Structure 1
């Protein structure tokens, strides 16, 4: 989630530069486009990384969760 927030902030900063919020000139436009591309790339990478970490977490804790569920429902006996 943190990576997505960082990517969004980079992308938004790039948009501000591109729309001449921070200054005018071609150099600000170029900086804005570059920051926008970097921010979009970070956001694109974020979702597959999230899916991978979620799958890894599910595999790690699945057995414990099932055992606790059996204990709660009384099936463990």
Structure 2
């Protein structure tokens, strides 16, 4: 829906949460990477519990945002 109706410059991420629970993994990293690439997203795994990759997620989104020239 976002791709159809949103801004063409939208930044989308597929975020795998609970990266600290590897033994309970439901989706393989490769499947997630493939899905994200196929759908114009980037993929990152995070853990809210340990804070792993939380800052990196937002930094990556910021890097991908369109830049507008300053006046």
TM-score normalised to the size of structure 1?
Answer: 0.28
With a CA cutoff of 8 Å and minimum separation of 6, indicate the structure with the bigger relative contact order.
Answer: 2
The structure with more strand, counted as a fraction of residues = 2
The structure with more helix, counted as a fraction of residues = 1
TM-score normalised to the size of structure 2?
Answer: 0.30
